[in-house]
Amino acid sequence: MFFSLAFKYTLIIWIVPLLFIFSQESFSQEAKRNVFLNEIILEELKPDIQSTREYYLLQKRVLKVYPYLDILSSLLDSVDLDIQKIHKKRMQRRYSRKVQKKIVNQFSQDVMKLSRKEGVVLSKLIHRKFKLTGYELIAIYRGSMQAFLWHRLSKLYDGDLKSTFNPLENKEDFYIQTILNDCALE
């Protein structure tokens, strides 16, 4: 977020009319007073090399794991449709086990090549896309015991299936959202 010199003057131009409107609404005609504010000078923020490097590494990670999110989304849509057609709970569990084996066979080599940080980014993107954490998705489709086991396994590698996506409170999540908007992935 870089502020230029022109921004300083634009900010002053916008603040003065707002203060005038505010002063007219809040004070009666007799109690009007002039309010003088100190001049604020906004200087340009210079990013350090380390933060720029981290941003580009995060961008690389997001662009690497985003195709997996698209595949997962389409796969879950088709699985949901198929499970809705099956009425017996036992058959639904069998079908979900069959789909899990298919997913593991198809993507295990690719997922094993992901770094720990890329796994964390994928977990955050899953929460962003489905409004459910990875833990909750596993609990829905495979049961809470499987979700617990996979969560413990991810904790061994400093991952977290319960991680959430909150760009308002987390700086890394804000950068992920910015990267997705800049690359027009959504």
pLDDT band at 159 (very low <50, low <70, confident <90, very high): confident
Helical ranges in the chain per DSSP H: 5-26, 49-85, 89-112, 116-130, 134-142, 144-156, 171-182
- What pTM was estimated for this model as a whole? 0.68
Residue 60 pLDDT exceeds 90? yes
Q: What is the pLDDT of residue 15?
A: 64
Of 1, 124, 126, residue with least CA distance to 69: 126
CA distances 113 to 60, 65, 109, Å, are 15, 11, 7
pLDDT band at 13 (very low <50, low <70, confident <90, very high): low
Do residues 2 and 45 make contact, with C-beta atoms less than 8 angstroms apart?
Answer: yes
Residue 2 pLDDT exceeds 50? no
Residue 75 pLDDT exceeds 70? yes
Q: What is the pLDDT of residue 178?
A: 86
Q: pLDDT digits over 76-118, tens only?
A: 888 888 888 888 989 988 988 898 888 888 888 888 888 889 8
**Dihedrals phi, psi of 28, to nearest 5 degrees:** -75, 170
Do residues 19 and 35 make contact, with C-beta atoms less than 8 angstroms apart?
Answer: yes
